[in-house]
Structure 1
């Protein structure tokens, strides 16, 4: 297994912060990228794991850092 590092933030929380507002349902900590390390057999498995927990269709943006 290898370790893959991802950056995750919430697009709507980030937009709210830029407009000096708060998102009504998402913690503002998600406006800034958070780093997560995922152990997986492949980059695709790691990305599937992170997007399952932080889905794009719910506003999360993920980017693999390594």
Structure 2
């Protein structure tokens, strides 16, 4: 297994922050990128895992850093 690092933020939280507001349901810590390490057999499985936990439909943006 290898370790893959991802950056994750939430567009809804970021938009709220840009408008000097707080999102009613999402912590404002998601307005800035958070880093996560995922152990997986390959990059595709790592990306699938992170996207399952932080889905695009809920405003999350993920980017693999390595």
TM-score range with shorter-chain normalisation?
over 0.9
* Structure 1 stretches of 4+ moved >6 Å: none
- 1:36 maps to what in 2? 36
- Number of aligned residues: 66
Task: Point out where structure 2 has 5 or more consecutive residues left out of the alignment.
Answer: none
Task: Point out where structure 1 has 5 or more consecutive residues left out of the alignment.
Answer: none
Alignment partner of 1:57 is 2:37: no
Question: Over residues 31-53 of structure 1, what are the superposed CA-to-partner deviations in whole Å (9 max), with x where a residue is unaligned?
Answer: 01000000000000000000010
- 2:25 maps to what in 1? 25
- For residues 15 and 5 of structure 1, the distance between their equivalents in structure 2, rounded to whole angstroms, comes to 24
Cα RMSD (Å): 0.5
